[in-house]
Amino acid sequence: MEKLDTEVRFIKGVGEQRAKAFEKLGVRTLRDLVMAFPRAYDDRQTVKRIEELQFGETCCVSATVATPAKLARIRRGLDITKCVVVDETGRMNITFFNQSYIGKNLIPGQNYVFYGRVGGRIGTPEMQNPVMEAEDVPPAFTRRIVPVYRMTAGLSQRMIANAVRQGLALCGDEFPEQLPQYIREQYRLAQTRFAYENIHFPRDAESLELARRRLIFEEFFVLSCTLAFMRSRQGKKAGKRIGAPDMAPFYKVLPFALTGAQRRAVDEILGDMTRGERPMSRLIQGDVGSGKTVVAAAAAYAVIKDGRQAAFMAPTEILAEQHFSSLTKLLEPLGIKLDILTGGLTAKQKREAQARLKTGETQLVIGTHALISDSVEFDDLGLIIADEQHRFGVQQRAALSDKGDTPHVLVMSATPIPRTLALILYGDLDVSVIDELPPGRQTIDTFLVGESMRERIYKFIRKQVEVGRQVFIVCPAVEETEETPDGLKSVKEYAKELSEKVFPDLRVALVHGKLRPKEKNETMGAFAAGNIDILVATTVIEVGVDVPNANLMVVENADRFGLSQLHQLRGRVGRGGYKSYCVLFEGGGGDAARERMRAFCKTNDGFKIAEEDLRIRGPGDFFGSRQSGLPDMNIASFATDMDMLKNAQTAAKELLASDPELRCEENAPLRESVTRMLEKNRGTLN
């Protein structure tokens, strides 16, 4: 095992400088190197004769060097090396640019294999800068399936491949076997050494598939074992059960009846907290507008009536203030004392709020990350509610939990997540799904339009404002820079153009993430109050802005957003009793992006959209950017390898049933991998 921890700079052919380049790829040790799997493969197995070549194709040719290589220096910074190669069917020109050394390796009369794109003229094919190898040496970069790695400055594909070869040779037989033999046999999985050699340098397509199956299974297997440890550790903590609450007063003050899905979610929450076997850890997952907040309010009411406190953590000050306003209206009539704690409060306001929390005077506090500050203390914290869970790191949730004695935890997400992915993202949580929208929620008509429709859309915007409605316009960039691609709408310049040229008679305002919190809150407050007609914004308005009078969402350069992110933006409208619309301007994403957005226009079902987004974009970009809750996977895909995930989960469950602590000697390598994953994602394994 010690060899795998060897720093990559000590591997033959790497050294200090290349090690720095490897570090940019996240490769620091031998283990990192051999687990930096190729992102794709070039199939170079087919070797053609010269007469068989087709112009434009990329292939291998076996030929003999017929003429000495000639070097011509055209000008400073440009030299050309040329030679002619032949086989029994014809001749081909070979040209190398700025590779003057190559002539020494092109020996007349010697046979070589050249791999490249076929160009030239009819009857005289040519390859420029081909990959070449002597025919009498074992194939490394021709005549085989060749790996294609992620790149960075200072490293070529050949450098990376050679480093991996050296790394595999250095490992010898020290690859730890994490899967017991009975599991390998049951699921017909290759051995570790074979898998690592053939994932990098496959003998053939069949060997590559065997290697992929083995490594995907292993990755999911380790993850499943890690999640099981997390859940078992949670289960060892006894939860403080609450008494069965009388929920009748709460339901009586609601201005509406809960949907069946909301009732079911409340019952599941109360069941967790009244049993008290372990602290509740539950995810409430619901589409935009499904009514998650009132479910959270019911949970807070139950805990508070049992004599404990609740904390509600929101990702932004705007959302915290909105929740504070709505929850105050709902819970104050029931005698519950609420407070708000955000970074935007004055020092005096913070001290006073913290004092009320410490004495227990405040029963429910709504806040941002300010809630996890060291200076915040609770009298008896019984419930933590975290809104938009994917925006909080696990450590932040844990930091808030540490402020109470095993408090119950309820997390919410308005980002619909395919259930298979939810089980991975929130492996330590039970999941409740609110899959039913309250009566009266509007279906939002969604349209994909091109630039030719811009004037018509501007007229449509004006028409909505004239009848008293309000409009969101979302741009992907804050401001123009030298790196901003042509045609990409930046919110600052576009807001200026709209207010001065397109809608000079309307009230146009601007909000983006780089504004000071006070400015941002004032603008959002003015929009919510109806004092702004058109709000031009970045995705800062993606989460939690509730303006029932807004009925039109326009998204510029829509191809720049994930489908789930577009769904979040669309959910900002349709919250009142007015017919609502979402208009997407195509941008320059091409046919694939256009097809993706057409699929989005056909449905308002966030879960269907999430499945499609996961399939197309993969988990890394599922939320529009990398999120802290998402585990890093080297080869497995949550989008395409679900059957393998289920098999790995079953195998992990069976193994842990016989060896819950992984104490058996044959499970030691697996325990080390689980420990590494826990240290990386959750803290150390005790």
Separation between Cα atoms, residue 569 and residue 538, nearest integer Å: 10
In sequence order, what DSSP letters do the residues of 163-178 get, joined into one string? HHHHHHHHHTT-----
According to DSSP, residue 559 is labeled: G
Query: Tens of pLDDT along 440-462?
Result: 666 899 999 999 999 999 999 99
Whole-number pLDDT of residue 627 = 38
Separation between Cα atoms, residue 101 and residue 171, nearest integer Å: 33
Whole-number pLDDT of residue 637 = 74
Best-predicted range by mean pLDDT (413-422, 460-469, 471-480, 537-546): 460-469
Name the amino acid, one letter, at 579. Answer: K
Residue 198's nearest CA partner among 222, 225, 175 is 175
Query: Tens of pLDDT along 237-294?
Result: 666 788 889 999 999 999 888 999 999 999 999 999 998 777 888 888 887 777 888 9
CB atoms within 10 A of CB 306: 18
- Residue % of the chain over a pLDDT of 90: 51
In sequence order, what DSSP letters do the residues of 587-635 get, joined into one string? -S-HHHHHHHHHHHHT---HHHHHHHHHHHH-GGGTTSS--TTSPP-SS
Query: Tens of pLDDT along 79-102?
Result: 999 999 999 999 999 999 999 999
Query: Tens of pLDDT along 617-675?
Result: 554 443 333 333 445 678 887 667 778 888 998 899 899 989 988 889 888 889 988 88
> In the structure, what pLDDT confidence band is assigned to residue 516 with cuts at 50, 70 and 90?
confident
C-alpha torsion sign, points 430, 436, 441, 443: positive
Q: What is the mean pLDDT of residues 506-528?
A: 86
Whole-number pLDDT of residue 683 = 41
Q: Picking from 348-357, 410-419, 476-485, which range would have the lowest pLDDT averaged per residue?
A: 476-485
According to DSSP, residue 444 is labeled: P
Residue 304's nearest CA partner among 237, 362, 256 is 362
3-state helix, strand, coil in the chain (%, to 5): 45, 20, 40
Domains and CATH numbers, the chain: 2-40+162-209 (1.10.150), 46-143 (2.40.50.140), 248-275+291-413 (3.40.50.300), 445-603 (3.40.50.300)
Whole-number pLDDT of residue 678 = 75
Q: 494 is written with which tokens? A: 């576009």
Whole-number pLDDT of residue 625 = 33
Separation between Cα atoms, residue 651 and residue 662, nearest integer Å: 14
Separation between Cα atoms, residue 339 and residue 361, nearest integer Å: 10
Residue 200's nearest CA partner among 257, 141, 130, 260 is 141
Q: What is the mean pLDDT of residues 672-686?
A: 65
Whole-number pLDDT of residue 681 = 59
Mean pLDDT of the chain: 85
pLDDT surpasses 80 at 438: no
Name the amino acid, one letter, at 38. Answer: P
Q: What is the 3-state secondary structure (H, E, C) of 58-124?
A: EEEEEEEECCCCEEEEEECCEEEEEEEEEECCEEEEEEEECCHHHHHHCCCCCEEEEEEEEEEECCE
Do residues 363 and 283 lie in contact, with contact meaning Cβ atoms separated by under 8 Å? no
Pair type for strands 90-97 and 124-128: parallel
Separation between Cα atoms, residue 22 and residue 18, nearest integer Å: 6
Separation between Cα atoms, residue 375 and residue 381, nearest integer Å: 15
Residue 130's nearest CA partner among 117, 144, 120 is 117
pLDDT surpasses 70 at 428: no
Do residues 166 and 10 lie in contact, with contact meaning Cβ atoms separated by under 8 Å? no
CB atoms within 10 A of CB 159: 17
Separation between Cα atoms, residue 489 and residue 485, nearest integer Å: 9
Whole-number pLDDT of residue 118 = 96
Whole-number pLDDT of residue 674 = 87
pLDDT surpasses 70 at 396: no
Query: Tens of pLDDT along 127-151?
Result: 999 999 999 999 999 999 999 999 9
Do residues 241 and 275 lie in contact, with contact meaning Cβ atoms separated by under 8 Å? yes
Whole-number pLDDT of residue 623 = 37
In sequence order, what DSSP letters do the residues of 182-242 get, joined into one string? HHHHHTT---HHHHHHHHHS-SSHHHHHHHHHHHHHHHHHHHHHHHHHHHHHHHHSPP-PP
Q: What is the mean pLDDT of residues 516-526?
A: 82
Separation between Cα atoms, residue 647 and residue 645, nearest integer Å: 5
Pair type for strands 124-128 and 145-148: unpaired
Angle at 34 between CA 32 and CA 37, to 5 degrees: 95
Please report, for residues 145, 161, 361, the alpha-carbon distance to residue 152 in angstroms, rounded to integers and kept in the order given: 22, 14, 56
Separation between Cα atoms, residue 663 and residue 311, nearest integer Å: 39
Q: 46 is written with which tokens? A: 């087919």
- Largest CA-CA distance found in the chain, in angstroms, rounded: 96
Whole-number pLDDT of residue 45 = 93
- Residue % of the chain over a pLDDT of 70: 87
- Tell me whether residue 64 is exposed, middle or buried, using C-beta atoms within 10 angstroms of its C-beta: 0 to 12, 13 to 18, 19 or more: middle
Do residues 156 and 213 lie in contact, with contact meaning Cβ atoms separated by under 8 Å? no
- Ramachandran bin of 90, using left for φ above 0, alpha for ψ from -120 to 50, beta for the remaining angles: left
User: How many helices (DSSP H) and strands (DSSP E) are in the chain?
Assistant: 21, 23
Separation between Cα atoms, residue 545 and residue 538, nearest integer Å: 13
Separation between Cα atoms, residue 515 and residue 303, nearest integer Å: 37
Please report, for residues 306, 370, 450, the alpha-carbon distance to residue 377 in angstroms, rounded to integers and kept in the order given: 19, 12, 54
Q: What is the mean pLDDT of residues 392-418?
A: 72
- Tell me whether residue 335 is exposed, middle or buried, using C-beta atoms within 10 angstroms of its C-beta: 0 to 12, 13 to 18, 19 or more: exposed
Between residues 396 and 240, the one the model is more confident about: 240
